Amino acid sequence: MRVLTKDFFRVIGKNKGRFLSVFFIVLLGAGFFSGIRVSRRDMLLSAEEYYDGTRLMDLRVLGTLGLTQQDVLDIAALEGVEAAYGGYTLDVLCGGEEQEAVRLIAYQDGVNLPTVTQGRLPQEPDECFVDAAFLEQNGYQVGDTLSVSGEALDGSLAQRTFCIVGAGMLPYYMDLSRGTGSVGSGALSGFVLLLPQAFTLEAYTEVYVLLEGALPLDSFAAEYEEMAQAVRRQIEAIAGEACERRQSDVMAKAQEEIDAWESLLEEASAGQKAVRAEIDEGEWQLAQAEIDEKRAQLQEPAQQQQLDGKKQALAQAQEELLRADEESAPQLAEAREEIARARQALETLKSAQWYVLGRDAIASYVAYQNDAQRIAKLSQLLPVIFFLVAALVSLTAMTRMVEEQREQIGILKALGCADRTIVARYLGFALLPTAAGAVLGVLAGEKCLPYAILRTYSMLYTGLPVRRTPLDMREGAVAVLASVCCTCAAAVLACYQIFRACPAQIMRPEAPKNGKRVLLERIPWLWSRLRFTQKATVRNMFRYKKRLVMTVVGVAGCMGLVLVGLGLHDSIAQVCDRQFSALTHYQAAVTLAAPYEAQEREVLLAALDGQDGAVGALAFCEKTVTLSYKDAVQDATLKVPQSEEALERFFTFRDRKTQAAVRFPQDGALLSEKAALLLGAGVGDTIQLTVDGSRSVSVRIAGVFENYIGHLLFLAPQTYEALLGAQPEYNQLLLRYADGSDAFERAGRVFARARSRPGGCVRQ
């Protein structure tokens, strides 16, 4: 036994290259196999740990008329609810010339906790905590003052300037997008956290709900979804009564304000009438009569002078009363208009409604889950191919080793060694590098590969600071067992093929396989032109079919992996060329800080068209919107062209598979293909379109077109007006002009002049 053990280690020493090749190929195969297969789990686990650590809300309740403290208490009392928090949100503009839209959010200690990267959290109502990405992009620093503006600030905020005391991230905004808002272009640039005391709103804008027992669960699993759905149904059950109560309160308060305004208006009108009556028929006529009467009686100059002074004083009083009357008249007229508007708003007040949203309504949550699912789909094929190539290399190495040591096997059998002893010798040689390589490959693969994928995705999901890569024993065991079984089975099969012969036959070299004619020999004009070595090569290919198959399969697998990598690179690199050469035909986009009036817009378009090399310009209404269909949610860019006739010069709408043209619809929406795929919707389906962050309308998909960059939704101007009840505000210009720096420079001068004008609207 000791002799065989020594010989075993001698065999390893003599076959170091083969030993190391099996070790490293198994290490790579097992590492890649297990590493990419656990990447999806590690991605979701990292996000889950981050969400649990920041206490991301499980449900969010929105109310069209706001939510009261009683609503918060009612929700908190439901079965399965751990806690409910009332919150405030408000979309505002901030900055100087280039104002950015941000969302003000009330900080709640217990839900949606921010991750601090600079400074600290706000402790006073005049302090704020800013989005770290917004802070970097706009040049702000901790200690600066942030000023906000907007139409909705009156009665909503206690002040309009705040001191920046910190910056960081929110779990609600894990990716680069900050969602849609109700100000500016509709796209939010960041968030700002304030203390609840900084808000002066009458009611909460939303309620955050944490579920009882949800922390131990995987929020991406079906069990968590069932728990959330159960609580959602309970909230929807109490929504009807709460909405009626809220609507009654709003209408009662509105009526009280109207009554108060009317009372003040009546008092002012009564006082005004009294003043006019006093002026017209009162003291002035009486005083004038007394003056006339006494003037005839009195002759002394002093008394005459005294009466003239009284007359002058009375005239001055009349002028003051008339001036006060004139000043109060516009205010009274304005008060009457306010009352009329309030009455109209009260009459058109829609019924209160609640919307109960889960985590699946968070764009970054859904996008991250979809990306993890893409990695899972990738792991179903590529690791298997890589692993099979590694197994094939190991199989070839072990088979050839056994065949090379055929004479030694015959000697051992002749000396009386049992077959199992000889098999154990080669089995150990196969098992040692395979097991060591597989174990090390699993350890390295499950740690390094998921970490590399998470780090790559961190360029998109900048708000995810957690990277969890625990070992998955199940996937690791599968990789190790599969590697060991492939290599060891090859060694055992090769040995038992030799064991079928007697020792004397085994000690002799194996007889070459019989040659046979191949099909190519039956084509004389081709066969005769081959050299001797070429003919021998062709014959040997069919004499040793197993080697041929193993070589072809191995090379094909490796080439397949190379082509997959190059194909992915080329596919991504060609996207931009395909998008901007075949589908979109404009050279620049100009964003307007405020919509131009029709006359101003025509002047700017005429100036652009008059430039040398200019081909044309088209105005668009552009908004960032949210699309939803069933359980899917996706952010998209809404585009409404000013002229449908000129649209075909800027965009080509066609079907990706058939290349057939897609007609621009007069009724319904035109949706880009990727957005339709993510939503799971198609032509004829009706999706929900959420504009300005709150208003939701239904629109039918009239067509799906090929598009590779961004998610686009096109509407005709009349469709936009019919859906939203307002005309589109054209805030973007797409330009077409001849390529070349001169054309770009001329266009830049036009925009510079437009931007420098008082009230100029060119933003970018």
More confident residue, 165 or 606: 165
Q: What is the DSSP string of 31-42?
A: HHHHHHHTHHHH
Lowest mean per-residue pLDDT among 134-138, 433-437, 628-632, 755-759 = 755-759
Residue 386 has pLDDT above 80, yes or no: no
Residue 21 has pLDDT above 80, yes or no: yes
- 475, 37 Cβ separation under 8 angstroms: yes
Confidence of residue 743 (pLDDT cuts 50, 70, 90): low
Pairing of strands 161-169, 127-131: parallel
Lowest mean per-residue pLDDT among 117-131, 611-625, 746-760 = 746-760
Q: How far apart are CA 99 and CA 96, in angstroms?
A: 6
- 494, 398 Cβ separation under 8 angstroms: yes
Whole-angstrom CA distances from 619 to 271, 589, 595, 663, 762 are 54, 10, 10, 20, 13
Residue 293 has pLDDT above 60, yes or no: no
508-566: per-residue pLDDT in tens? 777 777 777 788 888 888 888 889 888 888 888 888 777 787 778 778 877 877 887 78
Tell me the β-bridge partners of 212. none
- 761, 597 Cβ separation under 8 angstroms: no
Give the chain's end-to-end CA distance (angstroms, integer): 84
Nearest Cα neighbor of 453 from 77, 1, 35 is 35
Q: How far apart are CA 326 and CA 313, in angstroms?
A: 20
Confidence of residue 718 (pLDDT cuts 50, 70, 90): very high
Q: How far apart are CA 146 and CA 140, in angstroms?
A: 9
- 247, 239 Cβ separation under 8 angstroms: no
Confidence of residue 687 (pLDDT cuts 50, 70, 90): very high
The 3-state secondary structure of 456-467 reads HHCCCCCCCCCC
Tokens encoding 644: 């449908």
3-state secondary structure of 646: coil
Confidence of residue 82 (pLDDT cuts 50, 70, 90): very high
Whole-angstrom CA distances from 141 to 85, 124, 177, 470 are 30, 18, 21, 37
Q: How far apart are CA 298 and CA 296, in angstroms?
A: 6
Nearest Cα neighbor of 90 from 2, 204, 11, 172 is 204
More confident residue, 260 or 486: 486
Residue 352 has pLDDT above 70, yes or no: yes
Residue 206 has pLDDT above 70, yes or no: yes
Helix axes 406-414 and 473-499, enclosed angle (nearest 10) = 70
Percent of the chain that is helix, strand, coil (3-state, to 5): 55, 20, 25
Tokens encoding 410: 């015959």
Q: How far apart are CA 762 and CA 181, in angstroms?
A: 21
- 129, 108 Cβ separation under 8 angstroms: no
Pairing of strands 190-194, 100-106: parallel
Helix (H) or strand (E) segment spanning residue 130: strand 127-131
Whole-angstrom CA distances from 754 to 252, 586, 729, 730, 764 are 49, 20, 18, 16, 11
- 84, 502 Cβ separation under 8 angstroms: no
Q: How far apart are CA 59 and CA 70, in angstroms?
A: 18
**Considering the chain, what is the average pLDDT of its residues?**
80
pLDDT for 74: 92
How large a percentage of the chain has pLDDT more than 70?
79
pLDDT for 347: 60
Q: How far apart are CA 452 and CA 461, in angstroms?
A: 14
Q: What is the DSSP string of 360-405?
A: GG-HHHHHHHHHHHHHHHHTTTHHHHHHHHHHHHHHHHHHHHHHHT
Handedness of CA 153, 155, 161, 162 (dihedral sign): negative
pLDDT for 282: 46
Confidence of residue 760 (pLDDT cuts 50, 70, 90): very low
- 411, 54 Cβ separation under 8 angstroms: no
pLDDT for 45: 92
Residue 755 has pLDDT above 60, yes or no: no
Nearest Cα neighbor of 82 from 104, 108, 59, 114 is 59
Helix (H) or strand (E) segment spanning residue 638: strand 632-641
- Number of alpha carbons in the 13 Å side-chain half-sphere of residue 714: 27
Whole-angstrom CA distances from 95 to 153, 590, 699 are 15, 20, 35
Q: How far apart are CA 401 and CA 8, in angstroms?
A: 13
Residue 580 has pLDDT above 60, yes or no: yes
More confident residue, 44 or 351: 44
Tokens encoding 264: 């003040």
Q: For 574, left (φ over 0), alpha (ψ -120 to 50), or beta?
A: alpha
Nearest Cα neighbor of 486 from 546, 397, 400, 403 is 397
Residue pointed to by tokens 């002394």: 300
Q: How far apart are CA 28 and CA 205, in angstroms?
A: 54
pLDDT for 348: 57
Residue pointed to by tokens 């002047």: 603
- 88, 201 Cβ separation under 8 angstroms: yes
Tell me the β-bridge partners of 145. 163
Q: How far apart are CA 308 and CA 314, in angstroms?
A: 10
Residue 309 has pLDDT above 60, yes or no: no
- 621, 729 Cβ separation under 8 angstroms: yes
Residue 294 has pLDDT above 50, yes or no: yes
Backbone angles phi, psi at 691, to 5 degrees: -115, 145
Q: How far apart are CA 653 and CA 642, in angstroms?
A: 17
Backbone angles phi, psi at 704, to 5 degrees: -125, 130
pLDDT for 741: 46
Tokens encoding 249: 């309160």
Length in residues, the chain: 764
Residue pointed to by tokens 């001797």: 532
- 153, 162 Cβ separation under 8 angstroms: no
Nearest 5°: CA angle at 51, between 47 and 52? 120
